[in-house]
Structure 1
Amino acid sequence: MFIIMIVKLPVTLDRDRLPRLFGELDATRDQQEVTVDFAPLRFSLPTGMLALGSKLREWVAYRKQRNLFSYALGISGARQAHSYLMHLGFFHFIGLEAGLDVGEARGSRSYVPITRIVRPDIDIGRQGLEDWYTAIETEARRVAGILAGSFDDSQPLRTYTYSIREVIRNVFEHSQAAECYICGQRWNNGQVEIAILDEGIGIARTLSESHGAATDADALLMAVRPGVSRTSNYDREQNIYDNSGFGLYVMSELAANFGWFALGSGDALLFGYQQQRTVSDASFRGTFFGMKFLSTPANIRSVLDDIIAAGEEDAQQAGIRVRASGRSRIVQ
């Protein structure tokens, strides 16, 4: 006789609930029969929703390969949170035939449904690096305009475009992933949350080329330091993307100064708010970066200049002789 294990979703699905949910899924990974109960869910936020979706995708695939039985319980379109997830493409994302497929929903003026972004099909050696950057910038601006509430030039539009562009750049330049996923939400009070993830090799393996990290937690803390990059020991010819190791540093500082960030990869999750940095246990294949802007800079270019200048000084004091790349400084 088999005992059917149950993993219950929380009332609110956000980044704080991810470590517990990941742990419960890992604990039931090899059980013969497991039910995921969605009935308790009442609120879903971008970082928690997208990261859990990717975790469930991997969990379900693992169990299918081993002929184990997985069930979903309590999904109802009559519940607002479930209807929202159906429209965003969440259930199709995890392999269930409920709601719209990923890419099918058009979104609205206040949210971006789960959207698949494919690595630009550009031969950098033939077409040049600028075409690569332009393709990513165009995609970032398309999403940012929805979250800013307008495509008219504004500080929020510039802030979100820069933020999304830099995280997507980091994905395609380091993770070895051919695609990434993004979703986002803007609320009536002007606050915005954005989540981007890939299912690539993870930060620890990325940094192992040039830096030694004993644990995934060490790797995450290292990744948000200025001047730390997979390409740190590359010469100019090898460093085709002109990486300087400032991408995640700048993004983590920007998000922490104006809200918070959550960076998860491997068996660790790093949370940042103002000067606070906290690491907790997690379990995630690939990398996710969630950020919430409680407000936006009055002048994003000036803020970035200050963050980069402080980072360059910190890097120099640590014996790292590198300056932020020109691309990291560009705000359009």
Structure 2
Amino acid sequence: MPDIRYPSNCSARAIFNFCDEIEQYSGSDRVLIDFSGMYRIEPFTMVYVAKYIREFNRRNKKTKVSCIGHKNKDYAANMGFFRAFGLKHGREPNCVDGNDRFVPYTILRTQTIIDEATKDWEPEQDVIERRAAHLSEILAQQSTGNLVDALTYSIREIMRNVYEHSQSKSLDYCAQYWPYYNRVEIAIVDHGIGLRSSLQKNPFVQVDSDSDAIQQALMPAISSINYRGAVIDTNDPWHNSGFGLYMSNRICRLGGSFLICSGDHGIKLDENGKEHIELPHKCRGTAVRMVLNTKRLTELADMLATFREDGYRIARQIKGVGAYEASAASQMLSRDFTK
């Protein structure tokens, strides 16, 4: 039986290689995953690996996946990691909201968002922001402040992208805040069509590869549904302007990092620049890791105003792509634009 060892570190490249090693045994009768070398596990590691193993199981229904070395991995078990990919050990996803500055593995179905919005006669995006704010308050252990605002905005914008563009029936997320290190990590994955298929709906965007799609998606004013000639209700503060993903990655680059993967490619952004990652396997849908440096966060309105002006300068150079004006939602939290 093939014995695949879980990596001793949780770097993105180590996790990608681990998933690819599993992929090499597609069609095998049995696969054994050894978790005894797991010394540290972080939010992105959990959602990416759990999603990958779950999808591997669906594609290889005749392959029996067994696990060893997981019984004493209490943190991962408490976060719902093992149950998330079908191993009967630890807590189930969605079991608790979390405490002590962490949000365990959670699966949010898009139909749940629709049902809540219908029940309360409100836009789906209001439901998404409310959930994002709730997660942020758990992580920060407070209800107001720069950290809560930055987290709420960043989480909301990634969730909005999943809901509005991915055609995914659900999204998975978990998060952790380490105050001692001034570090917050949020990871969100979906099971949708991926960035390449989404952006190909925009006739002004040329997307020939997954790398092209990710780079375009990170630019301001680029969206699958916002382009010159598209029917857009600019009076709707939630209309998609293609600025949310750009703004979120700018927040993360203030001493943190932003990683996004889709298809066969990934891009990591931080203060040192851009790193391209060729994935050794296919990432179905989109996966995002946001790492924020809490010491570098200032008032959200000031940060976004600076990023917005930078974004406008870039957008003006992209002829015909978007409407160039960021929507109200992309510039602030809803409590500000609904006053």
TM value normalised by structure 1: 0.90
Deviation of the 1:124 alpha carbon: 8.2
Q: Distance in 1 between matches of 2:315 and 2:216?
A: 12
- The answer to whether 1:164 aligns with 2:149 is no
Deviation of the 1:122 alpha carbon: 5.5
Q: 1:157 to 1:68 in 2, by over 3 A?
A: same
Name the residue aligned to 1:308: 308
Q: Distance in 1 between matches of 2:325 and 2:19?
A: 38
Paired amino acid for 1:227: A
Q: 2:271 aligns with which of 264, 274, 277?
A: 274
- What is the DSSP-based 3-state SS (H/G/I as helix, E as strand, rest coil) of the residue aligned with 1:227? coil
Q: 2:71 aligns with which of 72, 76, 91?
A: 76
Paired amino acid for 2:244: G
* Equivalences for residues 225-240 of structure 1 within 5 A: 225-233=219-227, 234-236=230-232
Deviation of the 1:127 alpha carbon: 8.1
Paired amino acid for 1:15: A
* Equivalences for residues 76-155 of structure 1 within 5 A: 76-77=71-72, 82-119=73-110, 120-121=113-114, 131-151=123-143, 153-155=144-146
Root-mean-square deviation (Å): 2.2
Name the residue aligned to 2:176: 185
- What is the DSSP-based 3-state SS (H/G/I as helix, E as strand, rest coil) of the residue aligned with 2:253? helix
Q: Distance in 1 between matches of 2:169 and 2:63?
A: 29
Paired amino acid for 1:306: T
- The answer to whether 1:58 aligns with 2:50 is no
Paired amino acid for 1:322: Y
Contact 1:258 1:297 (8 Å CA) reproduced: no
Q: Distance in 2 between matches of 1:275 and 1:227?
A: 24
Name the residue aligned to 2:213: 219
TM value normalised by structure 2: 0.89
Query: Does 275-284 or 285-294 show the bigger shift?
Result: 275-284
Q: Distance in 1 between matches of 2:140 and 2:95?
A: 22
Gapped regions of structure 1 (runs ≥ 5) = none
Contact 2:77 2:90 (8 Å CA) reproduced: yes
Paired amino acid for 1:73: I
Deviations 1:125-174 (A, max 9, x none): 9987x5322211110011000111212x1110111111111111111000
Name the residue aligned to 1:202: 194
Deviation of the 1:255 alpha carbon: 0.8
Deviations 1:56-83 (A, max 9, x none): 110122111xx12221121123xxxx11
* Equivalences for residues 275-290 of structure 1 within 5 A: 275-282=272-279, 283-290=282-289
Deviation of the 1:27 alpha carbon: 1.7
Contact 1:110 1:185 (8 Å CA) reproduced: yes
Q: Distance in 1 between matches of 2:235 and 2:197?
A: 18
Deviations 1:19-41 (A, max 9, x none): 21232122222233211111110
* Equivalences for residues 38-49 of structure 1 within 5 A: 38-49=35-46
Deviation of the 1:55 alpha carbon: 0.7
- What is the DSSP-based 3-state SS (H/G/I as helix, E as strand, rest coil) of the residue aligned with 2:224? coil
Q: 1:325 aligns with which of 324, 327, 330?
A: 327
Deviation of the 1:115 alpha carbon: 1.4
Q: Distance in 2 between matches of 1:238 and 1:54?
A: 36
Q: Distance in 2 between matches of 1:41 and 1:123?
A: 38
Q: 1:253 aligns with which of 246, 250, 253?
A: 250
Contact 2:304 2:332 (8 Å CA) reproduced: no
Contact 1:14 1:46 (8 Å CA) reproduced: no
Percent identical among aligned pairs is: 26
- What is the DSSP-based 3-state SS (H/G/I as helix, E as strand, rest coil) of the residue aligned with 2:254? helix
Q: 1:43 to 1:126 in 2, by over 3 A?
A: closer
- What is the DSSP-based 3-state SS (H/G/I as helix, E as strand, rest coil) of the residue aligned with 1:258? coil
